[in-house]
Each structure stands twice: as structure tokens, then as C-alpha cells.
Structure 1
Amino acid sequence: MLTVNHTRPTGPAGRVSRVETLMLGTAWRDFGYVRVHTDEGLSGIGEITHPYRGAEVCALTESLAGRHLLGADPFDTEEIWLRLYQGDFLRGGDLGGIALSGLDQALHDLMGKALGVPVYRLTGGACRDTVRVYANGWYNGERDPETFAAKARETLAKGYSALKFDPFGPGLHELERAELRRSVDLVAAVREAVGPDTDLFIEGHARFAMPTAARLLRELEPFDIGWFEEPMPWTHIERYRELRQRAAFPISGGEHFHNRYEYKQLFATEAVDIVQPDLSMAGGFTEIRKIAATADTHGMLVAPHNSNSPLCTTASAHAALGIPNLKILETFDSLLEDHVFAALRGTLPVENGHLPLPTAPGLGVELADEVFAEHPPTHRFWNMFSEGWEKRNRT
């Protein structure tokens, strides 16, 4: 099972003949991509962005392909997923999870192109006509109520009806009293600015100890938030259920888990109300459907995490269309420079806070190599435990 089978009839995409990786520099982070070629002249792409270890993920992706993907039929996605994961002893983790996810996306892109249909047609079809998205990254500026309120209004003017932000600034485990008051004031200012009909989601970035997380539940209750995301580190996953029982609003999380096996404890402990798998971290199309289905058996909704490029946004829309228990999808697209969209030709546009139904074969996106050459990796790093992290190295 764990070796490439060359004796089966070859599917319409042919067999994998070459795999390459590319990186694109931006003012925020470096975006990573994989492109898989077949002997029939087709190519499929996937996203392999890691916030800080892009070169390492690219190297792993290429070595995985050399060991397990060359000569494979792209339509054998289940076997290929198992071959990459079990055959390479990945055993989870971020580097392996991202590499596997990107390769799986690329295989689905190849299948769609070979058959002449959008990827969502291969992953359950459509349960809806559009995918609702929320904006993140819009608050990259001075951390004061007036600035946050103004930026929130600007983002709503672009058509969004849902926003997420981290109001808490730097810190780990606890917040000083003045910092806590400042954080709550930011939430209050944004809620007042956007009115009662806008969904607000609050990000905790998995960094508070239980007493601080519990205090924040009380402080955030007046603002009618849609969820409190990752209030505690996942090293304390057994305490999430206790926190949920205290909360007057949903608790969400799961972006840091990279496959169904890592998700087992989250489901077993009923840690969250809303799960947030990332298509470029949690195993690609092959795996995210399993995670969403398991969430459904626990009465949980799915709000996919997506802090990556517009390619992941587009690919996530394909996945989200077929998830019956979908809530909403994340996007940072409004944060990005024009050259990112020039490098990724054919990504779905955000229109009035929604992504439209895709029509092009595969993912519908092609990489413009000449734009990549003009914007090499920048190797930026933003430390969210230091003052001013929310600016994300932008001036």
C-alpha cells in the first residue's frame, strides 16, 4: 500500500512527473506554494505557507514528493495521503501538516483540471451558492479605541459584515490591570462603531492562563461576540470544557491541529463549540472533510482558519461549499498588496463579504512566475508577545 503503484490504469491527469516549490515575499509574511506536474502536461498548485519556516516547508515538500509522489496517479488521493503521512513517519506537526496539505490541494487541482470541473464538484458539491467570510488583519495600526473604531468602519465599507481581532496586545498567561482595561475599551469601541448587526469575533491567540481567560469571559459578555477564539494554550486542552461551561458565547479553536489524529483529543474533551481547521495545515481537502464530519457528530460548527494568501482563500471556498455545518470562513485578503493578486491569477474576489461559486476547472488559479521573481522572500518575523505586534511589520 505504501509504495507507488505503476500497474493500475492511469487516470486522465497522467502520473506525477515533477514537483517544485515557490515563495512570494510580502510586507506581512512570505507565502509558500507547491506546483505538481504530470506527464500529460497538466499542473496543479497548493499553498504551503508557514509563518516563519517557509524554506523548511519547501524543502520537506520537495523531499516528500521525491520519496512518495513521483509516478503516482493524482486521483489516488486517499492512498497518497496515507503514503505521505504514514510512509514518511510524519506523525503530525506543523511542517509535515503544511507540506501534506499543500500537496493534497495540488492533487485536487489536477483532478479538477483533468475532468474540466471545479474542485468543489469533487468534494461533495455545493451546499450553498456563496461562502460568507469575515475580515482579519484590518486593525494593523495604533492600539487605541479611535483607531480601531475607524478601521472597523473602513472594513465594513468594503462589504464585510463580520470582523475578527485580537484586542489584547502583548502578554502571556496574564494581563496587567491597565492592559486589561485597554483591551476591553478596544472591544467596546469597535462594537459601538459597527453597531449591533455586525458579527464580532475575538482572538485570544492561545496564550492566557485559566484565571485570566475566565475573567475575560465576564469582561467580553456585554459586547455580544460571536466567539472567543483560543483563550488558552492547547497544552491545557483539558480545561477548555470547563471554560466553555462558564461562557455566555461560543468558544472556538483548532487551527493548531494538523490532521484527524491530532483532533481526537479536541473532540474527546468537547473543548470547543466551533472547530477551525486550516485547509493548508490540517491535511488538505482529503482530511478537512473528515474533520468537519466528525465535528458534525459532536454538534459543532466549522469556521475554517485561513491566515494565508488568496490561494488558500479560494481553495478554502471550494472546501467550504460542501461542508453542511459551515459557519463562516476567515480571510486576510484585504490586508495584502496588489502584487500578491498579480502572482495568483484567478483567485476568487470577496464581494459584499462573500466568495462566489467557482466556475473554472480545478482551483481556477495559476502562479505568475515573473511576479514571484520580482518579490523574493523577506523572512519577516512578528513577535506577538512584544509591543506593537499587531502592526505586523507594516508602516
Structure 2
Amino acid sequence: MLTVDTSRPVGPAGRISRVETLTLGTAWRDFSYVRVHTDEGLTGVGEITHPFRARETCQLAEAMAERHLIGADPFDVEEIWLRLYQGDFLRGGDVGGIVVSGVDQALYDLMGKALGVPAYRLTGGACRDRVRVYANGWYTGDREPGAFAARAKETVAKGYTALKFDPFGAGLGELSRAELRLSLDIVAAVREAVGPDVDLFVEGHARFAFHTAARLVRELEPYDIGWFEEPLPWTHIERYAELRQRAAFPISGGEHFHNRYEYARLFATDAVDIIQPDLSMAGGFTEVRKLAALADLHAMTVAPHNSNSPLCTTASVHAVLGIPNFTILETFDGLLEPYVFEAVRGALPVESGYIGIPEKPGLGIDLADEVFEEHPPSHRFWNMFAEGWEKRDRR
């Protein structure tokens, strides 16, 4: 099972014959992809974006292809997932988790193309006729209440009915009294600007000491937020349940975990109300469906994390269409330069805060090599613990 068996009958996609990687530079971060070819002339694509380890994910994807993919049947997704994970002794971690996730996406793209059906038809079909999304990355600019409020109004005017933002600047562990007041003033200004009918999600970036998180839970209550995301470091996962008991709103998290084994403690401790697996980090279609089922077993819902490119947004739509306990999907697509959509051709558009049901076979996306050549990777480090990180510029 942990070696490629070319003696078995092969499916309609043929066998994997070649694997390559591509990276696109943007003002915010580099987006990386894996492209899998078969001897039947089909290609499948998946996203392997890491915030600052693009070289490592691409190198590992190419190395794992030689060890575990060449000659394999793309339809053998469970076996390939096991071969990548167990055969490479990954034992978790972000680089390996991202590579497995992107390869898994590419396999579903290949299967859908081989069968002539959208990928979501292979992952449970559709439980809904469209997917609600929320905007992130909209608050680039000065960290002060008026600027946040103005940008929030602009984003809602584009049709979004939900926004997520981090008002805490470079805070870590504790917040000074001035920083606490500023952060809460930002939340208050955004709520006043968008009114009571827009969902607001507050991002904690897994960085506060318990007493600070507990105070924030109390102070955020008047603003009727939809969830407080990752208020504590995951090194203190056992204290999440205690924080949940103090909160009048849901606690969410899970973007930092890469498979069911890493999620085990989150489920065992009932750490959150809403899990946030990322389709490009948590094992792709194959694993995220299992995580959603486990979440349902624990009366939790699923709101996938997606700080990636429009390819992952599109793949995530395919994934969540068939997840009954899905809540809402994150997207940064409104932050990106137009050429990103030229590079990732066929990505599904956001319309009035929703994304419709895909119609094209597979993921419906092709990568335009010439655009990648025009925008090479920058390999910059984007540090959210530095002052002014929310500007997301090219410093």
C-alpha cells in the first residue's frame, strides 16, 4: 500500500506522469501551486501556498512526487494520501501538511476532468445552492477607528454581509490600557459603520495570555460579534474550553492544524464552537470532509480558513457544498491584484457576498504560465507582530 502499484487496473485519468510547481509573487504574499500531469494528457492543479516558505513547499512537492506519485492512479486518493503522510513520516507540520493538501486538490481536479463533472460531485454533491463568504484583508491602512469604519462601509457596499478583522495591531500576550482602548474603539467603530445586520468576526491570531483573552471576551460582548477567533495560543489548548464558558459568542479556531491527528486534542477538549480547517493546509478534500464529520459529532460547525489565492477559494467552494454543518467561507480575493485572477483562470467570482455552484469539470481552473513569468516570487516575510502589519505592503 505504501508503494506505487502499476499492475492494478487504472482509472480514466490514466497514471500520474509528471509533477511541477509554480509560484506567483504579489504585493501581499507569494502564492504557490502544484500541477499534476497524467499520461492521458490531463492536468490537475492544487494550491500549496505557505505564508513565507514557498521554496520549501515547492521542493517537498517535487520530491514527494518522485517518491509517491509518479505512476499512481489519481483516483486512488485515500491510498495516495496515506502514502504521502505515512510514507514520508510527516508526523504533522505545516510544510508537509500544505503539500499533501495541494496534491489532494489536484487529484480531485483530475478525477473531475476525467469524468466530466465538477469536483464537488465527487465530495458529497451539494447541500446548498450557493456559498456565503466573508471578506478579510479589507482593512489595509491606518490602525485607527475612522479608517477601519470607512473601509468596512466600502466593503459592505460591495455586497459582503460579513467581515473579519484583527483590531489588535502588534499586540502579543498582554495589551496595554491604551492598546486595549484603541482595539475596542476600532471594533465599536466598525459595528457602528456597518449596522446590526452585518456579521463581524474578530481575529485573535492565537496570541493572548488567558487573562487578556478573558477580558477581551467580556469587553467584546456589546458589539454582537459572530465569533472570536483563536484568542489563545494553541500551546494552551486545554484552556480554550474554560474561555468558551465565559463567552457570550462562539469561539473559533483550527487553522493551524493539518490533519485529524493534530485536531484530536481540539475535539477531545471541546476547545471551540466552530472549526476552521484550511483546504490548503488541513489535508485537502480527503481530510477536510473527515474533520467536518468529526466536528458534527461534537456539535461544532465548519467555517474554513482561507488566506490563500482564488484557487483555494474555488476549491473550498467545491468542498463545502457537500458539508451539512458548514457556516461560512473566508476569502481575501478582494485584496488581490487583477493579474492574480489572470494567473488562476477560471476562479469563481464573489457576487454580493456569495459564490455560486461551479459548472466546469474538476476545479475549473487553469494556470497561465506567462503570468507567472511576469510576476516572480518575492520571498518576503510578512510579520504580523510588527507595527503596521495590517497595511500588508511590500516592506
The bucket for the TM-score relative to the shorter chain is over 0.9
* Aligned residue pair count: 395
Mapped to 2, the partners of 1:109 and 1:275 lie a distance apart of: 25
Q: Offset at 1:8?
A: 1.1
Structure 2 residue 190 is the aligned partner of structure 1 residue 185 = no
Task: Within 5 Å, give how 1:203-222 maps onto structure 2.
Answer: 203-222=203-222
Task: Within 5 Å, give how 1:138-153 maps onto structure 2.
Answer: 138-153=138-153
CA contact (8 A) 1:171 1:386 kept: no
Which amino acid in the other structure matches residue 29 of structure 2?
R
Mapped to 2, the partners of 1:209 and 1:365 lie a distance apart of: 42
Q: Offset at 1:394?
A: 5.4
Q: Offset at 1:379?
A: 1.4
Which amino acid in the other structure matches residue 256 of structure 2?
H
TM-score (norm 2): 0.99
Which amino acid in the other structure matches residue 290 of structure 2?
K
Residue matched to 2:317: 317
Residue matched to 1:70: 70
Residue matched to 2:57: 57
TM-score (norm 1): 0.99
Cα-to-partner distance string for 1:160-209 (whole Å, 9 max, x where unaligned) = 00000000001210001100000000000000000000000000000000
Cα-to-partner distance string for 1:51-94 (whole Å, 9 max, x where unaligned) = 00000000001101110000000000000000000011011100
Residue matched to 1:226: 226
Structure 2 residue 134 is the aligned partner of structure 1 residue 134 = yes
Mapped to 2, the partners of 1:123 and 1:294 lie a distance apart of: 16
SS in 2 for 1:169: coil
Mapped to 2, the partners of 1:382 and 1:71 lie a distance apart of: 38
Q: Offset at 1:393?
A: 1.6
SS in 1 for 2:282: coil
Task: Within 5 Å, give how 1:93-112 maps onto structure 2.
Answer: 93-112=93-112
Cα-to-partner distance string for 1:239-274 (whole Å, 9 max, x where unaligned) = 000000000000000000000000000000000000
Residue matched to 2:41: 41
Mapped to 1, the partners of 2:360 and 2:316 lie a distance apart of: 15
Residue matched to 1:29: 29
Task: Within 5 Å, give how 1:74-89 maps onto structure 2.
Answer: 74-89=74-89
Mapped to 2, the partners of 1:58 and 1:382 lie a distance apart of: 19
CA contact (8 A) 1:33 1:47 kept: yes
Structure 2 residue 307 is the aligned partner of structure 1 residue 270 = no
CA contact (8 A) 1:124 1:322 kept: yes
Residue matched to 2:11: 11
Residue matched to 1:198: 198
Structure 2 residue 226 is the aligned partner of structure 1 residue 250 = no
CA contact (8 A) 2:57 2:98 kept: yes
Mapped to 2, the partners of 1:125 and 1:23 lie a distance apart of: 31
Mapped to 2, the partners of 1:273 and 1:70 lie a distance apart of: 40
Cα-to-partner distance string for 1:266-324 (whole Å, 9 max, x where unaligned) = 00000000000000000000000000000000000000000000000000000010000
Cα-to-partner distance string for 1:203-256 (whole Å, 9 max, x where unaligned) = 000000000000001110000000000000000000000000000000000000
CA contact (8 A) 2:51 2:382 kept: no
CA contact (8 A) 1:5 1:72 kept: yes
Which amino acid in the other structure matches residue 168 of structure 1?
F
CA contact (8 A) 1:137 1:332 kept: yes
Task: Within 5 Å, give how 1:365-376 maps onto structure 2.
Answer: 365-376=365-376
Which amino acid in the other structure matches residue 148 of structure 2?
F
Identical positions, percent: 79
Which amino acid in the other structure matches residue 306 of structure 1?
N
Residue matched to 2:123: 123
Which amino acid in the other structure matches residue 3 of structure 1?
T
SS in 1 for 2:200: strand
Residue matched to 2:304: 304
Mapped to 1, the partners of 2:43 and 2:215 lie a distance apart of: 51
Gapped regions of structure 2 (runs ≥ 5): none
- The two structures, once aligned, show a CA RMSD in angstroms of 0.7
Q: Offset at 1:133?
A: 0.1
Residue matched to 1:173: 173
SS in 2 for 1:235: helix
Cα-to-partner distance string for 1:84-114 (whole Å, 9 max, x where unaligned) = 0001101110000000000000000000000
Mapped to 2, the partners of 1:116 and 1:106 lie a distance apart of: 15
SS in 1 for 2:264: helix
